[in-house]
Amino acid sequence: MLAPEIRCVVGIDIAKQAQVVCAVEVPSGRVRHKPSRIEASAEGYAQLRAWLESWGSQETILLGLEATGPLWEPLDDILIHAGYTVLLLNPRQTASWATSLGLRAKTDGLDAQTLARGLAAGLARASCLPSETVQALRALTRARRDLIESRTAARQRLHDELVVLFPEFVRFLPTLPGRTDLGEPAVLHLLGTYSSARALADVPLEELSRVLAQVSDGRWGQSQASAVQELARRSTASSRAVAARSVVARTLAQQLLELAAHIAELEVAIVELLHDDVEGQQLQALPGIGPHGAATIRAELGDVSRFARVDEVVAYAGLDPRTHQSGAFIGQKHLSKRGPGALRHALYLAAFVAARCAPEWRCRYQRLLDHGRAKKEAYTILARALLRVIYHLLRTGQAYDPALLNSQTTSSGC
């Protein structure tokens, strides 16, 4: 329902370069301002402010913006600071309005008018804006995930190149002192200098020993240099396009080093942000949840006060079971998976760790297996149970008490 003082509603379709504005009078429904385009610039926003002032005071105007990525934020900030009431609208919600109006065409002008019509009809349900902390964690954790995906792809590509340039090298790495693989900075520094069996075979042993000692901070020396050089001389590496492939391998090694530095920088920022966040500290007190898991859950779940019931949280995370049924046909249950995938992944990993490290969760996990559940299904059920615990603790501010969870399982003979 619209507030009684509202006399004009404004729908604004958001895009990168321009916005389309449409105004409708309330309660008559007459179009006061046909869909018009303004630039996404200071001049365009000044034009919008001038229109709004001619349509009434701030108290009598309601504006609706569709949440298109982050593109709505600059305009939303300007309108909020100017004293206007702005509703951020979910695209799924506005798409249902267009369907109900029987619209088949889709243009920016029609979208803006649809937003205004939905506002005028009182159909709008405003999206919840994240707090400053949640928004910061969201930016940091999503950037970190993107860089980790890039690192995984680059590491796989480097591995593929080494299969041709020096196939024995990857199998040789575990024999080096320390836990060594293609992600080890010392290995990447070495490949940034000598990226093929041919290069390692031709370099003088003294020079290779010096490079190995330098890149490994003294962990590797002449014995390791002699071993890797002997392996390179007996290698079954391909002789085709060695120079070009060596350039690719060196580039990938340098890229992995840069990605590691950027990921570490983001992780430091995440830990610093969580240090002063009460909810983040509460999450880290739960079994299986570390700083990065807490940051992801906090970022993707947002403020739990916007959920009226725990079932809404479960549905938001996409952990609610759904059944397809029609007539006599009843399909198998499966997860809806409608919410943020990163949230489900973080909860699943937390449940996996908790089932191994915390007795109360290990008890639950074993009970599920005893009842015939598959391992993956059991971890999913634990992830859903963990989300329910998270919701309760964040809503009430209480501390995690494993005895309460144990009291629920011991009665079942666990």
pLDDT for res 100:
81
What six digits make up the tokens of 365?
């996990």
pLDDT for res 351:
97
What six digits make up the tokens of 240?
């085709």
- Going by their DSSP bridges, the two strands 85-89 and 61-66 should be labelled as parallel
pLDDT for res 410:
45
Q: 271 CB contacts (<8 Å, ≥6 apart)?
A: 291
- Describe the chain by its helix, strand, coil percentages, rounded to 5: 60, 10, 30
pLDDT tens digits along 300-353: 999 999 999 999 999 999 999 877 666 666 666 788 888 899 999 999 999 999
Q: Taking the chain, what is the end-to-end CA distance rounded to the nearest angstrom?
A: 51
pLDDT for res 325:
63
Predicted TM-score (pTM) of the model is 0.86
Domains of the chain (ranges plus CATH)?
8-120 (3.30.420.40), 136-271 (1.10.287.4070), 279-323+334-410 (no CATH)
Question: Using CA atoms, how far apart are residues 115 and 344, in angstroms rounded to an integer?
Answer: 32
Question: Using CA atoms, how far apart are residues 339 and 300, in angstroms rounded to an integer?
Answer: 9
The mean of the pLDDT values for the chain is 92
352 contacts 345 by C-beta, under 8 angstroms: no
Question: Among all chains, which residue has been given the structure tokens 């007539």?
Answer: 327
Q: State phi, psi for 325 to the nearest 5 degrees.
A: -135, 130
Bridge partners, 232 (sequence order): none
pLDDT for res 289:
97
Question: Using CA atoms, how far apart are residues 193 and 6, in angstroms rounded to an integer?
Answer: 69
pLDDT for res 237:
96
pLDDT for res 411:
43
Question: Using CA atoms, how far apart are residues 378 and 62, in angstroms rounded to an integer?
Answer: 48
pLDDT for res 180:
81
34 contacts 22 by C-beta, under 8 angstroms: yes
pLDDT for res 130:
87
pLDDT for res 74:
93
- Give the ranges where 166-221 is alpha helix by DSSP (H): 169-172, 185-193, 197-202, 205-215
In the chain, which residues have pLDDT < 70?
104, 324-332, 406-414
pLDDT for res 413:
42
pLDDT for res 412:
41
